[in-house]
Amino acid sequence: MGEEKKDALPAAEMPVDGEEEKKEKEEAVQDGVHNYSREDRYVWPEDPKVLKKLEWFRDQKLGLMMHWGPYSQWGIVESWALSDADAVWSRRGIDWEITGEELKKQYFALNKTFNPARFEPEKWADIAKTAGTRYLLFTTKHHDGFCMWDSQYSDYKVTAPDCPFSANRYADICAHLFESFRKRGLGIIPYFSKADWHVDSYWKEAGEKGTYQNRGPSYDPKENPEEWERFVTFTQNQIMELGTRYGHLDGMWFDAGWVCERNGQDIRLGEVIERLRKYQPGLLCADRTVGGPYENYVTPEQCVPEKPLSIPWESCITLGTSFSFAYEDSYKSPREVICLLADIVAKGGNLAINVGPQPNGCLPKGAVKSLLGMGEWLSVYGDAIYGTRVCAPYKKDGIAFTKKEDTVYAIQTFPREDCAVEEEVWIPYEGAVGAVTALDSGEKLPFIKGQGGLTVRAGRPCGKRAEKAPIGRVFCLQR
């Protein structure tokens, strides 16, 4: 297939025309990776239940994002190979002889072979819990329109008779996944794509020969208002069924930011969210990149803001190299993920770490190993992460700071296992400190105050641990 941009991520279409919008477009889309709404465009919700839920969200710090669908069989990027206009970068991995039109037909037919027979939702939930993740962000429907739940509004779904998995006891994947995670106390935030490239009220003749498609509708909604209204009704119906038939939800995460009013693709999301909040009081809504009252938190993708943000935010970052399953993927080590998490939490954000499950229903072994290693560290040092908030100077001299109640946590991470682990640690914290304890052992540590901070006699890891630097250690500073 044509030249591909390495690791390019889709740059969702940003608002067109208008100087302000053009400026927004340049700022928001950098090198093909869709960034996130500007902090000064954030609108704090007025609903006290939503504000309270936002505080719950900011306490969780770590979510498990999962991209799963029939595309997993091919091990290629989710949905995007369907968009001819994005073919240059999106048809990476399409390294077999096939035309674009044939590709789209075969892609849309992947539902006929999707049969993840080894799927065990309870096992996934156990792994997520042990990994220390606190909520699930699961692709109920990606841009390709395939529904991973028993939708009453589409036959392009995992429970339809033409999908082999429909005969499996876990066929309604969302129902079983949400129940398994909820039973273990994890939050549920369904991912839902506002764009749907299978339904003909968005893409006419989807998958038929000779229809060049870009990521937007295959017609102009202004010129076809009835058609667009059909799509709005379809979309709102699906959002309502997910929000009323699948148990308690903590939020909904809406992807495909180009589907928005300023782009002439208004699905009137606020209307359906307010209806949903009668069933799900306080429901969070992440209408990504759209801004306004229904983007309750912003969602940097594959990146971390330079500095703390004063608004709720969550970085969605892949554990491997892609959101969807790739056959020869490599995964970030527990050390890399914890360093990333400490950086994000010190800036006041959450990390949604993404894993792409295999087409057979198992989670990739390498991903599970990293998740469990992350959970092991969090089982010892989680107090410095969960429920904390930003603490000046948030990050300095290699120390990340967080705070909770009357404790400041100084998190010293070691990016490599050959990092030197000094017995004396300089902590650039200028607040009042009366006592320092090691979070893991509870041992009181001697310290000397100095100009701009304090030096703590931390001692050094002994025995086997002495051979390589720990992932990180945490010092509790109290008045």
Q: Rg (Cα) of the chain, in Å, rounded?
A: 23
Task: Compute φ and ψ for 48, nearest 5 degrees.
Answer: -60, -30
Smaller CB distance to ligand FHN: residue 250 or 301? 301
3-state secondary structure 28-49: HEECCEECCCCHHHECCCCCHH
> Does 252 interact with ligand FHN (rule: CB under 6 A)?
no
* Helix axis angle, 121-130 to 173-183, nearest 10°: 40
> Does 301 interact with ligand FHN (rule: CB under 6 A)?
yes
Answer whether 472's CB lies under 8 Å from 338's CB. yes
Smaller CB distance to ligand FHN: residue 194 or 395? 194
User: Of 191-220, which residues contact ligand FHN (CB under 6 A)?
Assistant: none
> Does 10 interact with ligand FHN (rule: CB under 6 A)?
yes
Distance CA 467, CA 469 (A): 7
Site string for ligand FHN, 22-61 (x = CB under 6 A): ------------x---------------------------
> Does 255 interact with ligand FHN (rule: CB under 6 A)?
yes
Smaller CB distance to ligand FHN: residue 42 or 80? 80
Answer whether 186's CB lies under 8 Å from 125's CB. yes
Smaller CB distance to ligand FHN: residue 316 or 408? 316
> Does 157 interact with ligand FHN (rule: CB under 6 A)?
no
Q: Which helix (DSSP H) or strand (DSSP E) does residue 246 occupy?
A: none
> Does 12 interact with ligand FHN (rule: CB under 6 A)?
yes
Answer whether 67's CB lies under 8 Å from 324's CB. yes
Count Cβ neighbours within 10 Å for each residue of 438-468 and write b for 16 or more, e otherwise: bbeeeeebebeeeeebbebebeeeeeeeeee
Q: In Å, how far are 59, 401, 408, 452 from 404, measured between CA atoms?
A: 10, 11, 7, 22
Smaller CB distance to ligand FHN: residue 78 or 287? 78
Span near ligand FHN by CB under 6 A; candidates 75-83, 95-103, 244-252, 443-451: 75-83
Smaller CB distance to ligand FHN: residue 65 or 476? 65
Span near ligand FHN by CB under 6 A; candidates 7-15, 41-49, 366-374, 375-383: 7-15
φ/ψ region of 360 (left if φ > 0, alpha if ψ in -120 to 50, else beta) reads alpha
Residues in the chain: 479
CA-based end-to-end distance of the chain: 62
Residue 104 in tokens:
């789209």
Distance CA 336, CA 338 (A): 6
What residues contact residue 368 under an 8 Å CB cut-off, 6+ apart? 127
Considering the complex, what minimum distance in angstroms separates the CB of residue 80 from ligand FHN? 6
Q: Which helix (DSSP H) or strand (DSSP E) does residue 474 occupy?
A: strand 472-478
> Does 316 interact with ligand FHN (rule: CB under 6 A)?
yes
Span near ligand FHN by CB under 6 A; candidates 74-82, 238-246, 407-415, 445-453: 74-82
Considering the complex, what minimum distance in angstroms separates the CB of residue 352 from ligand FHN? 8
Smaller CB distance to ligand FHN: residue 78 or 196? 78
In the chain, what is the greatest distance between 2 CA atoms, to the nearest angstrom?
74
Span near ligand FHN by CB under 6 A; candidates 78-86, 126-134, 145-153, 181-189: 78-86
Span near ligand FHN by CB under 6 A; candidates 5-13, 83-91, 240-248, 447-455: 5-13
- Interface pick for ligand FHN out of 42, 192, 203, 323 (rule CB under 6 A): 323
Considering the complex, what minimum distance in angstroms separates the CB of residue 398 from ligand FHN? 29
> Does 9 interact with ligand FHN (rule: CB under 6 A)?
yes
Smaller CB distance to ligand FHN: residue 171 or 239? 239
> Does 78 interact with ligand FHN (rule: CB under 6 A)?
yes
In the complex, the residues that contact ligand FHN under the rule CB under 6 A are 9-10, 12, 34, 67, 78-80, 255, 301, 316, 323
